[in-house]
Amino acid sequence: MGFISDAFHNIRNRPSLILIGFLSIFFTQLIVNIFIFGYLEMEKMGKFSGESFTIKAYFQSGVDDEKAQETIEKLRNLPDVSTIVLVSKEEAQKKFLEYFEMAPEDFPLDENPFPLSVEIIPKRVESIPDLADQLKNTGLFDDVIYGGKNVDVFVKFYHVLLSVGSIILFLVFIFSLIVIINLIRISIQSRKEEIRIFHLIGATETFIRRPIIAEGFFEGLFAGISAFLLSTLVFYFLLDFLHAAFPFFPWIDLTDILAPLLVVDTFMGGVIGILGSIISCNSVLKEVLR
Amino acid sequence: MAFIGFDKVYKIYPSGVKALQNISFSIEEGEFVFLVGPTGAGKTTLMKLINREELPTSGDIWFDDIRINHLDDGYLPFLRRNLGIIFQDLKLIPSRTVYENLIFPLQIMGIKKNTISKISTRILAMLEMENRKHHLVEWLSGGEKQKLCLGRALIHQPQLVLADEPTGNLDHYSAYEMVETLYLYCREEKASVIVSTHNIGLLKSFSGRILQLDQGRLVTDHYNYSKVRSETGLEYR
C-alpha cells in the first residue's frame, strides 16, 4: 500500500493545487446536494398529494360486471396503482341521490343511466397522466378523468425540476471533471522529472499511475465528505426552520436525506477524482515518459 | 552469447550529431569495464542505449540474449530492474528523504517492507549514511548525493551496473572508494559493471577492461593488467 502514502506525500507537497481541486469538487457536491434536497422534497410532496388525487375511469356501456372485475385485477398489478375500487352502477346512482339529497323514488328515470366505473389512487402524483393514458389505451373506457390542472402543474414542475436539475448536474459534473483533469495534469507536469526517474529505475506505468489515481480519489473523497457535512448542517437548520414556520406542509425529515447525501457525495466525489486522474494520466504520462 | 553485445551500432541524433558510429563489442558476465574518452565521445549515449533511454539508429544491442532495441515498451521496466544505474546528473528526488530515494528500486520490485528495512539498513551502513536516513536529499552535499546514487544502484543486486561519471563531484579519496565499492560488487556478485570516467588515475588503480571512445568510435579495447596480482583478493591495489 506504499502508493497511498505516496499519494498523501503528493497532496502535502502541492497544497495550492490540491485546494483548488478540493474546492471545485466541494462546490459541485454542494450543488448536487441542493438538487437532491429539492428532488426528495418533491417526492415527498408527490406521495402526499397522490393520495388526494384520484383517477376516475368510466367503462363503456357494453362492459359487464364480470369483464369490469377482470379489468380491475389487471390494473391492480400496475406498479403505480396504490388502491383501485370498482364503483357499480347502483353505487353510482346512490352517490348521485345522496349528493342531491333525493329519495330513490324521486329519481326521474326508469333505468339506471350511470356507467360502471373505477376509482384509482396512484402511488405518486407524477404518475397520474401515464396511468390515465394506460387506462384509455385499454379501449374499455369511455372517459378517464383526474385532478385536472393541479396535477398537470405539479407534474410539469416535477419534470422541469428533473430536466433542469439533470442538465445543471451534468454541467457541474463536467466542469468539475475538467478542473480536476487540468489540475492533475499540472501536478504530473510539475513532477515529471520524478516520474521519469521512477520509469528509468524500472517502475511500470501502473506503479506510476497508482499514487496519482489515489491522489485524485482522496481529493474527491475528502471534498465529497466535506460537502456532506456542510450540507447536513445547513439542511438541519433549514428544515428546523421550515417545520416550525410551515408545520402543515409535508417537509422531508433530515434522516430521510442523510443516507442519499452521504452515498452520492462520497461516490460522486471519488468518481470525479478517479476519472479526472485517469484521463490526465492517459494524456500526460505518455508525453512525460517519452 | 555474450552478456552484453553491441553489433554495428550507430546513433545519430535528429540534430545530425553522430554520437556513435559502428560500435561492436561484447561484455561477459562479471566483467569490470572502464569506458573512457573525452567529452562528447559518446560514453553517455552508449549507457543510454543499454538502459533503453535511447534507441540506436541502426544495429542491434543485446542484453542477456534479449535484443533490447526491439524490446516492447511494456517490458522496459523489467529490463531496467536488472540494471543498477548511477546517472551522470544523479537523478535523485530532492523532495524525498535519503531512505525513500534509496529504496525506490526495491519498492518498484514489490519487495516486502521488512525485507526493505533490513536491506536498507545494511546499505546505509555501507554508505556511512545511517544518520542521514531521514534527511531530505536537497540537504546533502554533492559527495553524499553521489554515495546515495551508488546505494540506489546496488540495493537490488542488479546483474549489470552502469555508472556514468560516478566520481564527478568527489575528491580523489572518495572517488577511489566509490570505484572500489563497484569493483568489489563486481567480484563478489559476479555482476558486470561499466564505469564511464574521465579520471585516468582510477584506471591505474583497478584492473579491468578499458573501452576507449573518441568522436563516437571505439578506438581502443584492451585489458589493464598492470596492477593485477591476483583475481581473488584485494591485491589489485
What are A1-53's pLDDT values in tens digits? 677 877 887 777 778 888 888 888 898 889 889 988 888 887 777 666 655 57
Residue A221: predicted pLDDT: 93
- The mean pLDDT of A194-209, rounded to a whole number, is 91
Q: Check whether residue A158 and residue A222 sit in a common domain.
A: yes
Report the predicted TM-score, pTM, of the whole model to 2 decimal places: 0.71
Residue numbers in chain B where pLDDT is lower than 70: 1, 225-237
Reply yes or no on whether the pLDDT at A171 is more than 60.
yes
pLDDT tens for each residue of B120-146: 999 999 999 999 999 999 889 888 999
Q: What angle do CA A196, A199, A200 make, to 5 degrees?
A: 85
Residue A162: predicted pLDDT: 80
Residue A38: predicted pLDDT: 86
Of all residues in chain A, what percent carry a pLDDT higher than 70?
95
Phi, psi of B39 (to 5 degrees): -60, 135
- The mean pLDDT of A169-186, rounded to a whole number, is 86
Last residue of a domain, one of A129, A146, A163: A146
Q: Check whether residue A276 and residue A170 sit in a common domain.
A: yes
Residue B226: predicted pLDDT: 52
d(CA B126, CA A4): 30
Please name the residue that has the C-alpha cell 530492474: B81
- The mean pLDDT of A250-261, rounded to a whole number, is 89
Write out the DSSP string of A54-76: -EEEEEPTT--HHHHHHHHHHHH
Residue B231: predicted pLDDT: 39
33-62 of B, contacting A, C-beta below 8 A = 51, 53
Residue B235: predicted pLDDT: 41
Q: Check whether residue A177 and residue A246 sit in a common domain.
A: yes
Q: Which of A64-73, A104-113, B20-29, B223-232 is modeled with the greatest confidence?
A: B20-29
CB atoms under 10 Å from CB of A219, counted, come to 32
Structure-derived torsion over alpha carbons of residues A186, A187, A189, A195, reported in degrees to the nearest 10: -160
Q: Check whether residue A133 and residue A276 sit in a common domain.
A: no
ipTM value > 0.90 = no
Residue A128: predicted pLDDT: 82
Under an 8 Å CB criterion, which residues of A touch B?
2, 9, 13, 193-194, 196-204, 207
Domain, as residue range, for A199: 2-48+153-289
Q: Check whether residue A167 and residue A99 sit in a common domain.
A: no
Q: Check whether residue A218 and residue A284 sit in a common domain.
A: yes
Residue B227: predicted pLDDT: 52
Where is pLDDT greater, at B25 or A162?
B25
- Residue B179 C-alpha cell reads as 570505484
Q: Check whether residue A23 and residue A87 sit in a common domain.
A: no
Q: How far is B231 from chain A (nearest CA, A)?
A: 31
Last residue of a domain, one of A119, A146, A173: A146
**Residue contacts between A and B (CB atoms, under 8 Å):** 44
pLDDT tens for each residue of A210-237: 988 998 899 899 999 999 999 999 999 9
Q: Name the residue facing A202 among B87, B96, B105 (closest C-beta).
A: B105
| Residue A183 CA: distances (Å) to CA of A63, A224, A273, B96 | 69, 17, 11, 22
10-29 of B, contacting A, C-beta below 8 A = none
Amino acid at residue number A190: S
Number of domains present in the structure of chain A: 2
B117 interfacial to chain A (CB closer than 8 Å):
no
Q: Check whether residue A132 and residue A175 sit in a common domain.
A: no
Q: Is B77 in Cβ contact with A202 (below 8 Å)?
A: yes
Q: Check whether residue A135 and residue A66 sit in a common domain.
A: yes
Q: Check whether residue A112 and residue A142 sit in a common domain.
A: yes
Q: Check whether residue A159 and residue A254 sit in a common domain.
A: yes
Q: Check whether residue A97 and residue A113 sit in a common domain.
A: yes
Last residue of a domain, one of A146, A165, A186: A146
Q: Is A207 in Cβ contact with B109 (below 8 Å)?
A: no
